[in-house]
Structure formats: C-alpha cells, structure tokens
Amino acid sequence: MKGLSLIVPVHNGEGFIKSSLREYHSFFSRSFNKIEIIAICNACKDNTFRECEFLKNEIPMKVLDVPRRGKGYALIEGFSHAKYELVGFLDADNPFDLNEILKMINSLEEADAIIATKFKKGRLKFQTSFLRRTFSLSAAIVSKIIFGLNVRDTQAGAKFIKKQALDRIKNNFVCGGFEFDIELLYRLKKKNAKIKEYFILPKDSDFSTVKMRILPGMLCRLLKLRFLK
C-alpha cells in the first residue's frame, strides 16, 4: 500500500490544532500502513507550536516552525520533508468530511494530482463568508485568464499529488502566500500532469486567515510568475 505524507499548515491555531491532528492521524492511519503528518507552524504568535510539540508525545509527527508568514512558504517547507508516494495538504481546522477526502485520494489512481472544489455546475456555490466567496471567485478568474487553468476552484484547502509529479516541480517557487495554490497547479500543468477535481462541500467553519488587503500583493506575485519567470 502506498504511503501518505500529510502536510498541515497552521497559523495561530492553538484552539483547534491538537483536535485536528488527532483526527487526521486516527482516520488516515486506518487506511494507510505508512503515514507521516507534518505540522507547519507558520508565523504563529500564540501557543500553536507548543501544542504541536506536546502532541508529538501522543502521535508520530513532525513539527516545523516557519517564521516567514505565508501559506506557500509553509507548504514549500513541508514538501521538502515529505517522503511517501502520495503527498497532500489539508487546512488546519479540519473543514472537510474525511470519508470524502479518502475517496478523493483514491481518485489519484486516475490522475497525477487531485484537488478539492467547492463549486459544481448546477449546485449553489458554497462558502461561509462574502470574503471567501470573493477570494475564490477572483482566484478562479485569474487562474483561467492568466494561467489557462481549467479548474473551478484553485483555493480549497485539500490537494493531493503523486510524489513523482511533485518532485518535478517543487523547486524555485515564486509565490509564498495564498496564491501558491495557483502556482502549484500552473507548474503541474506545464509538466503535462493530469489534474482532476473532486467536488466536496466543507463543514461549517468561520476560521480564516484571508484578509482583503493581501489581494494586491498576491496579484503582483502571480503576474511576476507568469510574465517574468
């Protein structure tokens, strides 16, 4: 059976991170004989790192501290430590039904990368806030017009990739923030990787570190990636 490297980036999540990591380990260890959980504490100003370190006494996992703020920086560090055949990341607040996530991972038999999407033709676009809806829609428009990515949702916090595909693209990333997801998909596309979407609705969650003020910087980095690299 293939092994799973699960990366969990977290920023200021002391209130829920132990619960999420416990559930991730309990669930996925029933389906994978080989599993590693890599918790990436990203510019945390609370006790997230200490909570994760304490949990190492309970479940086998790696805990890394990335002081530079940005989802992309956290994931890049996590990718460099992943060792198993399947590599993926999930949001730290455990927003999805893990039974659906497992079905999603099993779909990797038919693709190089599988990504969650909250959008489906004929279904109401589900988001928990206006900001998240705006962010997801903006990212979808940019990814299609500028990068030619034919996917409905670039930003859902659940993506899984075959390590052999990831190893071909994981160096020299430009984007360190939330726009990293678009760069990841773009680089996979340039290597002719097959990307598949899996429709899954998140559980109710109000946790988010997305702020409207970060959007201009994200756009600048994406334009740099597309036209200067």
Among 37, 81, 79, CA closest to 61 = 37
Mean pLDDT of 161-190: 92
Using the 8-state DSSP alphabet, how is residue 30 labeled? T
Hey, what amino acid is at 60? P
> Which 3 state secondary structure label does DSSP give 105?
helix
Contact status, residue 64 vs residue 77, Cβ threshold 8 Å = yes
What pTM was computed for the model? 0.87
- The answer to whether the beta carbons of residues 48 and 16 sit under 8 Å apart is no
Confidence band, pLDDT 50/70/90 cuts, at residue 221: confident
Confidence check: pLDDT of 207 > 50? no
CA angle 32, 37, 40 (to 5 degrees): 160
Domains in the chain, CATH or no CATH each: 4-228 (3.90.550.10)
- Arithmetic mean of pLDDT, 83-89: 97
Q: Is the pLDDT of residue 1 over 50?
A: yes
Residue 208 has pLDDT above 70, yes or no: no
> Quick check: 182 and 175 in contact, CB under 8 A?
yes
Q: What would the pLDDT profile of 27-73 be if each residue is shown by its tens digit?
A: 999 999 999 999 999 999 999 999 999 999 999 999 999 999 999 99
Q: Which amino acid is at 35?
A: I
16: exposed, middle or buried (Cβ count in 10 Å: 0-12, 13-18, 19+): middle
d(CA 134, CA 130): 6
Weakest-pLDDT range from 24-38, 53-67, 139-153, 168-182: 139-153
Q: Is residue 122 pLDDT above 80, yes or no?
A: no
Q: What is the pLDDT of residues 11-21, one digit of tens each?
A: 999 999 999 99
Q: What would the mean pLDDT of 114-132 be, rounded to a whole number? A: 67
pLDDT of residue 147: 85
